[in-house]
Every structure is written in C-alpha cells, then in structure tokens.
C-alpha cells in the first residue's frame, strides 16, 4: 500500500480539495475553500497546511467566527447545497463563537464543516489557555457544546482517525436529507502530528446527488387527493430551490391553477408577480396566502420543515377536512402533520405529478378567488 507522510492538518487540507459532487451529469468541486481566524490551537496544524497549499486551496481571513459560519451557510444556500466552506478557529472562545451559526446551519439543513481547535489530547500541558476545566472529567472541552447542534460530531485524538472520520463527514455534508453542521474537533497537538496516510485517502472522490422517486402507490394516492380537492394550496419551501425545481413548480401550478404560498427559505420559488404566487405564508404571511390556507382542503408542502412561522403555530389550516401531502427528501419532515409522505426529490416528483393529474384544474370560482 502506498502511503504519504503528512501532518494531520496537511492531510485534512489535501483531502478536502479532492472532494467533488455530481448531479444531473454536472460535476463540481465541493469545497470552495476555508474561512478562519488563527489563534491558540489552529496555527501549527491547519494554519501551516493552509499556507503550504495556498495555491490549490483558498483561505479567507475573517474577523468574527459567528459571521464566518453564517457566511458559509449563505454560500451553500446560494449554491443549492452543492458547494460548501470549511471553518477553522482557535481553542475556547474562537470555537464557541461558531455555535449560533452551527445551530442555524443544522436547523436549515445547510452543510458547513467546522474545524475548531481543541485542547491537547496528551493532557500533559493541561490546562491550556482558555481550556474549560471540569472537576468531574478531563475529557470535556467547549467543543462538546457542538454535539447537539451537529449532524455529525467527532473529536480526533489520533491522526489516523481522520481516515474514517473524513469520509463520514462527507457522507453527512453531501446528504440532501440529513445535512447540516459537521464538527471535527481537532486537538492542537494532533493537528501537527505526522502519520503515514494511505495514498488512496487523497484520491478524487465524487459523490452523486441522486433524485429519489416517490413510492408509486403513495404517488397514486397523492394524485387522487389532488384530483378530489376543491381548494388546494402549495407551500413552497427551500427544497424547491435546492432541488432546482422552480421550473417544474411553475409548470405544475400553471397547468393546475393551484396557488402557492412561500416560506422564508422558499422565497423565489415562483416569480413574485406570478399569478399563482400568494407571497409569504404563516405568522408573517400575506392576507391572501393566509386566507387561502385557512380554507384549504389540501395542502401540498414541498421541501419545507413546516416550522411554526409557516403554520402560524399550527393555526393556519382551519378546514376540518384538510389533508396534507409532504414532498421532501427528508423522511423526518415528510411525515409531519400526519401527511401522505412522498419521500422524494421535489423536481422529479412535481414532474411526475404533472403527468399523473392530467387535465385536472381548480374550478373557476376558486381561480377567481385566488386572482383577488
């Protein structure tokens, strides 16, 4: 087996720059670079590696750790979760400043890779500057705060542990259903420790972003529900945009006449002046969207987690006979509101529903109400 002797910091940077994703035949490098602020805990390892490989992996100096995670989340959102940034910080407050951004990324299903510096794994020099000490255990550090807000969390106490940790991190980061913040806590001493890594760790890896299709039986039931409905409503969430399904959504609503309310993340799913676009829905929604939601007998939620702002704390839908169809790649979200769950890609599912519903169109009275 061929090996390369590298510090763990060097190995991480070399690995990151070889990660790619592919969707619909289009391949793109996943990491656009790394944001960071250097300090006690990330200079000798990650910092040295970023300097050494600056020609092939971009580093961007920031001024605040929280803002850099928010920026990373905004970047991946604007790239439909097909590209991302890593973020590096020092030990202690540098790391904890990322907590709000990390929570936001996980809540909104946005992939960001967090690489906070951590205390010495050997413990020989403990306590280090800004180390959180506990009388009950020497295994704690402030980076444990990231556990409940990370989709994947690991502390790398040996340089060879990244051989399994990095692929696991990428599995989560490229998952359309389970993505969010991924935290790899990197002890200061281990970052600079050398190891003979297998060369295959640094070979180009391409992760295919698939478009899962809905169960045929459930799709047929959804079709029947749509055709039976008299006051249907679509809620368009961020998943419409991430799936690049805006064209399919427009075609579906123009074919059927079904109106659309948008979540915060779903803004732009339809042009703002589209006849079927009722605007924002829920607690901060427009009167048109909320009146329609109140009377709807069928709600088709696409790519949304149906938060309290969207559902007005579950008071928005007041028709006693209302039914829900949830189209979502995340099973967790698809089952909300006791919905008919179409655990599938939004773009593919909208295209299939458009074919399945055939000549269905909302009646003239409902269409006239929407136009008002």
CB 111 within 8 A of CB 176: no
pLDDT in tens, 131-163: 676 777 777 789 999 999 999 999 999 999 999
| Residue 57 confidence (pLDDT) above 70 | yes
Tell me which residue range forms the domain holding 312: 216-371
Contacts with 214 (C-beta within 8 Å, 6 or more apart), sequence order: 222, 327, 342, 343, 344, 349, 352
The SS3 call for residue 133 is coil
Phi, psi of 112 (to 5 degrees): -135, 140
Tokens of 346: 């939004």
Q: What is the pLDDT of residues 8-23, one digit of tens each?
A: 999 999 999 999 999 9
- pLDDT more than 90, % of the chain: 91
How many separate domains does the chain show?
A: 2
Verify cis geometry, omega within 30 degrees of 0, for the bond prior to 102: no
Check whether residue 150 and residue 122 sit in a common domain. Answer: yes
Please tell me whether residues 236 and 126 are part of one structural domain: no
For the beta carbon of residue 271, count every other beta carbon within 10 angstroms.
Answer: 11
Examine the pLDDT at 54 and tell me if it is beyond 90. yes
| Residue 367 belongs to domain with CATH number | 3.40.50.1220
The two structure tokens encoding residue 231: 């006051």
DSSP state of 266: T
d(CA 136, CA 139): 9
Quote the CA–CA distance of 62 and 37 in Å, as a whole number.
6
* pLDDT one-digit tens code per residue, 185-226: 999 999 999 999 999 999 999 999 999 999 999 999 999 999
Model pLDDT, residue 356: 98
pLDDT bracket for residue 119 (50, 70, 90)? confident
Let me know whether 171 and 296 are in one domain: no
Query: For residue 298, is pLDDT > 70?
Result: yes
Q: Is residue 309 scored above 80 in pLDDT?
A: yes
CB 69 within 8 A of CB 96: no
34 lies in the same domain as 181: yes
What is the pLDDT confidence band of residue 344, given thresholds at 50, 70 and 90? Answer: very high
Residue 120: the pLDDT is 82
Q: Is residue 321 exposed (0-12), middle (13-18) or buried (19+ Cβ within 10 Å)? A: exposed
- Among 208, 232, 265, the domain-final residue is 208
The percentage of the chain sitting over the pLDDT mark of 70, rounded to a whole number, equals 99
Torsion of CA 189, 191, 193, 196, to 10 degrees: 160
What pTM did the predictor assign? Answer: 0.94
Angstrom CA distances, 190 to 118, 137, 184, 193, stand at: 9, 20, 12, 5
């Amino acid at each position: 087996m061929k090996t390369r002797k590298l510090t763990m910091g060097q190995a991480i940077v070399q690995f990151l720059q070889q990660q790619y994703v592919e969707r619909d035949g289009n391949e793109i490098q996943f990491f656009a670079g790394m944001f960071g602020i250097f300090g006690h805990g990330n200079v000798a390892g990650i910092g040295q590696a970023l300097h050494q490989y600056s020609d092939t992996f971009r580093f961007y100096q920031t001024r605040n750790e929280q803002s850099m995670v928010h920026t990373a989340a905004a970047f991946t959102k604007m790239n439909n979760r097909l590209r991302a940034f890593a973020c590096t910080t020092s030990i202690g407050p540098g790391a904890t400043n990322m907590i709000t951004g990390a929570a936001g990324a996980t809540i909104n299903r946005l992939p960001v890779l967090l690489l906070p510096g951590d205390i010495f794994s050997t413990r020989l020099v403990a306590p280090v500057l800004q180390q959180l000490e506990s009388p009950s255990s020497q295994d704690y550090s402030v980076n444990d705060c990231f556990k409940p807000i990370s989709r994947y969390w690991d502390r790398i106490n040996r340089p060879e542990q990244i051989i399994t940790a990095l692929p696991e991190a990428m599995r989560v980061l490229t998952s359309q259903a389970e993505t969010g913040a991924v935290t790899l806590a990197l002890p200061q001493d281990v970052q600079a420790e050398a190891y003979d890594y297998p060369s295959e760790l640094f070979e180009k890896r391409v992760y295919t972003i698939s478009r899962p299709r809905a169960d045929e039986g459930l799709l047929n039931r959804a079709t029947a529900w749509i055709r039976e409905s008299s006051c249907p409503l679509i809620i368009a969430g961020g998943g419409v945009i991430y799936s690049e399904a805006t064209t399919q959504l427009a075609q579906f609503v123009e074919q059927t006449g079904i109106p659309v309310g948008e979540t915060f993340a779903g803004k732009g799913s339809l042009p703002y002046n589209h006849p079927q676009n009722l605007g924002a829905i829920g607690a901060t929604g427009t009167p048109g969207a909320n009146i329609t939601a109140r009377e709807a007998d069928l709600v088709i939620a696409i790519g949304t987690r149906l938060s309290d702002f969207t559902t007005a704390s579950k008071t928005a839908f007041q028709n006693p006979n209302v039914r829900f169809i949830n189209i979502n790649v995340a099973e967790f979200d698809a089952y909300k509101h006791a919905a008919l769950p179409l655990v599938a890609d939004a773009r593919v599912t909208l295209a299939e529903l458009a074919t399945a519903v055939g000549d269905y169109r909302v009646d003239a009275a409902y269409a006239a109400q929407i136009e008002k």
